[in-house]
Structure 1
């Protein structure tokens, strides 16, 4: 079953977008790839990229201590805190009031998708710097405008947006980045502990450098897949739908399997 057929099977259930291509950034299959969705945790990759830019510039250090707290400036004015019930990564919460290295927070942000760690890193990096990375590499209307769980921002209509093409753009940039920062970012993505989408149906042991995101009606994943017998490829699938969450995950996994089965002739994907 081709990707187009998989998408036809869910037609009418919501909005679905796909970007598939190699690390040269040229797509071989697109479906509504420029359409934005609420980004959920996919925005954490541009945050990490912006952090590493500041590390390279000497403005930040991965070893610098950051006090763990849960009180942040809202993009709409006022203050907000992360809802612990909505954060599926508990480790950062056990450090409240303590100092931890910035690099530790970045690892929790990407590998466990910690919302609290994300807002702590974003506070150090700055929303404008994170958005600038996404705007540089992600075409269209993808945007980072606020932190995770910024309730006043949500009520003011301030949202983080991501398109499949936008996430693909930052993944292509990471995949081609030379030096220690590129290695660091790729290793963070490869350490992702939430693997129910792109990696789920691929052979065991295949390196997948990916960042996913989920929320009510939202399930996304985007990553670089590195087959041992073919060139790496980039796949992003964004879904905003009425599908059961497990079915949205299964859809992404099946699209990834179809791409994998065509890895030696990616242009043959239909």
Structure 2
């Protein structure tokens, strides 16, 4: 007579052993990541989530960082939200300008093209560009000029409010770029690794505005021109929809990684107080590679 209770016990035992093995593998990954980042002077945060298995890894995920240009993803989200509400169309045209008001006292300030990663737009002041083109430049080439125009249109307060509605409770978007009076008073855009993970996960699942808007945002993020961290050490057939951010002694990368088999995961890597930014970027790229290997099974 078959001993079903004994077989069931053995199956359950094997399942528990496998589960423990997977947990140990994730713990090993965390140790590897910590070890890699410890090689570099500075402070780091990591947030990772496999959207297929739910596996996740968090290091300093609630620590505040200067958002730098990672705040441009929340700004893009607000654009698509307001466009869906009929406030404007992404096809609407706006005159390119280089004069903005400080959030401190409404005094005027201008951006310096030499300090911007995208300089072409400055050659077309007085001409018109569609809102879509401004958002595109804001993301793929991190244009500060386009960013300030877009933030002026959607209002930074609305961006932060939308982040709260999405469950990103600590991201704060106060202002555009190069508002020196605000900077001097400590009025800065801030973020955490966890909050960026929250919004990218929702985007990956089509839960921001609607699935069409999410795909449109992902399509822009996929054309990112700065690829020195998350995508740097990944195979060419792996696609990354992401946004970087950097200021002095700070470098970030954040986005969605799409594997050729259809699986995807979210990865956020933040850093500050860096002594050697190039070496830190290299280390973060190696962390991205470690996580890719974990997801694809190369580390199991």
Q: Give the Cα separation in 2 of the matches to 1:265 and 1:137.
A: 32
- Given candidates 274, 289, 297, the residue that maps to 1:242 is 274
TM-aligned CA deviation for residue 94 of structure 1 = 1.9
Q: Which residue of 2 aligns with 1:197?
A: 229
Q: 1:256, CA displacement in angstroms? A: 0.5
Residue 127 of structure 1 pairs with residue 159 of structure 2: no
8 Å contact kept, 2:43–2:274: no
Residues in 2 aligned to 1:205 and 1:24: alpha-carbon distance in whole angstroms: 19
Range with greater deviation from structure 2 (213-222 or 150-159): 150-159
1:103 equivalent in structure 2: 132
Match of 2:3 in 1: none
Contact conserved, 1:134 with 1:144, CA < 8 A, in 2?
no
Q: How many residues align?
A: 266
SS in 2 for 1:224: strand
Question: Residue 24 and residue 131 in structure 1: after superposition, are their counterparts in 2 closer, same or farther (change >3 A)?
Answer: farther
Instruction: Report the Cα distance in structure 1 between the residues aligned to 2:242 and 2:224, rounded to whole angstroms.
Output: 7
Matching of residues 23-172 of structure 1 within 5 Å: 23=51, 28-77=56-105, 78-137=107-166, 139-172=168-201
Compute the displacement of 1:27 (Å): 6.0
Matched residues in 2 for 1:59 and 1:248: separation?
Answer: 42
In the alignment, structure 2 segments of 5+ residues that lack a partner are: 1-28
1:108-159, Cα deviation, whole Å (9 max, x unpaired): 0001100000011111111111112323335443210111111111122201
Matched, 1:256 2:276: no
SS of 1:183's partner is helix
Q: Find the aligned partners of 1:69 and 1:127 in 2 and give their Cα distance.
A: 18
Q: TM-score of the superposition, structure 1-length normalised?
A: 0.93
The corresponding residue for 1:4 is 34
Shift of 1:26: 5.3
Instruction: Flag structure 1 segments of 5+ consecutive residues without an equivalent.
Output: none
Q: Determine helix, strand or coil for the equivalent of 1:85.
A: helix
Please give the root-mean-square deviation of Cα atoms over the aligned residues, in Å: 2.0
- Could you tell me how far apart the structure 1 residues matched to 2:42 and 2:86 are? 44
Aligned equivalent of 1:187: 219
Q: CA deviation at 1:264?
A: 3.4
Local SS of the residue matching 2:289: helix
Q: Do the aligned partners of 2:200 and 2:256 also contact (CA within 8 Å) in 1?
A: yes
TM-score with structure 2 setting the length = 0.84
